[in-house]
Amino acid sequence: MSFSECTAQATDAVDKLHCAVNAINAPLWDILVWVLVGVGCFFTIMSGFAQFRLFGQSIKTMLASRKGHDENQGISSFQAFVTGLASRVGVGNIAGVAIAISVGGAGAVFWMWFIALIGMCSALAESSLAQLFKIKDPITGKFRGGPAYYIEQGLGQKWLGVVFAVALIVCFGFVYQSIQSNTITQAIQSATGCVGADDACQASWATYKHIVAGVLVAVTAPIIFGGIARVSKIAEKIVPVMAALYLLVAFYIIITNITQIPSVVSLIITKAFTYEAAGGGLFGALISQAMMLGIKRGLYSNEAGQGSAPNAAAAADVKHPVEQGVIQMLGVFVDTLIVCSCTAFVILLSELPAGVADGVQLTQVALESHVGAWGQYFLAILLFMFAFSTIIGNYAYAESNMQFLKNNPLVLNTFRVLVLGFVYFGAVAKVAVVWDMGDLTMGTMAFINLIAIVLLSKYVFALIKDYSGQLKAGKVEPVFELDKHPLLKEKVKSDIW
């Protein structure tokens, strides 16, 4: 449907906005899919498949990072890891996977796996750069950084750093918050049985969702006004518990249906290469629906190469930039290869008829078919916690970039109020609108960041070489010394290293 046809059928301002968003999304994603794949393959090959070589080291580093850092300078490497997971693990793993399967078919799961495996190296690159170019906040003394910072210092392009910061603030500060709160209301609506019900029930829900929105704003406000330090402490406590509960139920379903797993895996692989064009034009015609949806929802879930997780990575107090890079790389693996896969198997093992539900409600119906009616309520409660932790994790990213633009208490507090406004908006808005807005802002961020990390790739490879060399020399905990790297020293503005 063309933009003019779409707007002619629009019934209100939100529908017209939706038309405009989709008109930009189509050509953007037709190209971005190939950029994501190309950049992931580039870093994988040129780094000597670092995501596989350093995978064991990433686990050791993550476990060892739970203590021993200077709280006056930054959060621990583990806290940065779980703050990243707070944004990664949640709605993308549950609602996002369901949307990918319902629209793109079972084959979308294969492309989620693929983009995660090569994206692990993109995540290693961007988070290592965030550490290298991080700065100390002049007011708090804490570390902060991210793509806006390494674009400004590494590329010497302040204007592009500003564009990225604005894109991230809109994406994570506003649009993604709407997606989280929207999913919470959808899950609660499904759990109450008010889906496709009579007019009276729907009318009642039109009121109740505003109550849900108000509650979300009330519980979010005290946390985001506490800043990133409070976000990291809360994420450290609740994310592992939430993930463990969800995974335990998913593993139970997988184990009790273990004989069907080979046929499900076969279906995923077979359908991955069943061609149905995702769009028009040269680039769009080369992409299947399964590939497009798998990569879109995979990127939304694991954020590899998107430029979001580096904002949390930069806040960590570590001895080598790659130390945090390998930890964030591990986050991509946990998010997609483990959590997203569990959701996919829960849905595909349920053998539900097509069109029975969409989004998070599909996951809820699938869970109910496996474990009974309590599955609906269990997932609604769990998803509330997941989405809530993601709201505060997203805010942590946005705050760092707002400080990049203007580190002023009045500006920051005004921004926080606007964030709460979008939490409310998302809870009462239409599902498709908020997800498509998310794709637009996510795509804009990713496009800028992917170009930046490729242009800065020589610094990434120098860091990986230094880190790997120290490990081979038998050093248990590699330490980065900037003075030994004149190429890097020319660009880094801070004296942290």
Spatial neighbors of 218 by CB under 8 A, at least 6 apart, are none
Q: Which helix (H) or strand (E) holds 144?
A: strand 143-144
CA distance 167 to 356: 35
Task: Indicate the residue type of 231.
Answer: V
Q: Which domains does the chain have, with CATH numbers?
A: 3-453 (1.20.1740)
Check whether 183 has a pLDDT greater than 90: no
Q: Which of 158-167, 192-201, 358-367, 477-486 has the lowest mean pLDDT?
A: 192-201
**Longest Cα–Cα distance in the chain:** 71
Residue with tokens 């590494």: 154
DSSP for 439-458? HHHHHHHHHHHHHHHHHTHH
Check whether 129 has a pLDDT greater than 90: yes
pLDDT in tens, 242-281: 777 888 889 999 999 999 999 999 999 988 887 554 444 4
Residue with tokens 């926080």: 416
CA distance 20 to 489: 44
Check whether 82 has a pLDDT greater than 70: no
pLDDT band at 283 (very low <50, low <70, confident <90, very high): very low
Are the C-beta atoms of 368 and 375 separated by less than 8 Å? yes
Question: CA torsion sign, 141 to 222 to 79 to 145?
Answer: negative
Check whether 95 has a pLDDT greater than 80: no
Model pTM score: 0.81
Distance of CA 417 to the CA centre of its chain: 23
The DSSP call for residue 277 is B
Task: Indicate the residue type of 50.
Answer: A
Averaged over 455-460, what is the pLDDT?
95
Closest to 296 in 3D by CA, of 64, 119, 471: 119
Express as a percent the part of the chain with pLDDT over 90: 25
Are the C-beta atoms of 95 and 357 separated by less than 8 Å? no
Spatial neighbors of 272 by CB under 8 A, at least 6 apart, are 107, 108, 109, 110, 111, 290, 291, 294
Averaged over 1-22, what is the pLDDT?
75
Contacts 24+ apart (CB under 8 A), 201-206: none
